[in-house]
Homo-oligomer: A and B are copies of this chain.
């Protein structure tokens, strides 16, 4: 039952965001009675928090040995999360905590994890001499993560399967631009 509720809760959150995330909708999509859901999760915040923990893959430690490899791995992770069937979860998690304070306690850590992973990637690249000491982790992350998300979110529906087929080429071009743009800084 838990597994069906998590699947349904992720789909409902992806489709409607926090303002449409309620036990009625989750119950309907999951085919599980509302009373049973309430007994297990008494608040919507608990249900969403546990759903994200169970179903929303996030930054796993990246360490391929090169800056290029690390940025490709990071870009793929972001691409797959946002282009997937519940990709709107990623967009909601980025914008909703500003509007709904009750989401911050468990949504902000997703952003913070990404920031920390970016800092580690850039610090290692500086140590290996791949980046100048002045390289800005924040800027590099904004470029890589931002470009992937912009690419996925601004591609019209009819071009979506072509976009997915060309994922690796897009990422190679993007990471190539970042490498050339930061190496002589």
Contacts and interface: CB of A to CB of B under 8 A. Distances in A.
Interface of A: 15-17, 19-20, 88, 91, 94-95, 98-99, 108, 111, 114-115, 136, 138-139, 141-143, 145-151, 153-154, 156-157, 170, 173-174, 176-182, 184-185
- Nearest 8 pairs of A and B residues by beta carbon: A181-B181, A146-B150, A146-B146, A177-B181, A146-B147, A142-B147, A180-B181, A142-B150
A35 to B, nearest CB: 26
Contact of A180 (B99, B139, B141, B180): B180
Contacts of A153: 94-95
Counted per complex, copies of this chain come to: 2
Contact of A151 (B99, B146, B176, B178): B146
Nearest to A17: B17
- The binding surface of chain A is classed by DSSP as helix
B94 A173 contact: no
A85 to B, nearest CB: 12
Contact of A108 (B88, B151, B156): B156
The CB with the most chain B CB atoms within 10 A, among A139, A141, A142, A184, is that of A142
B94 A143 contact: no
A149 B147 contact: no
Contacts of A91: 91, 94-95
Contacts of A174: 139, 142-143
A136 B153 CA distance: 18
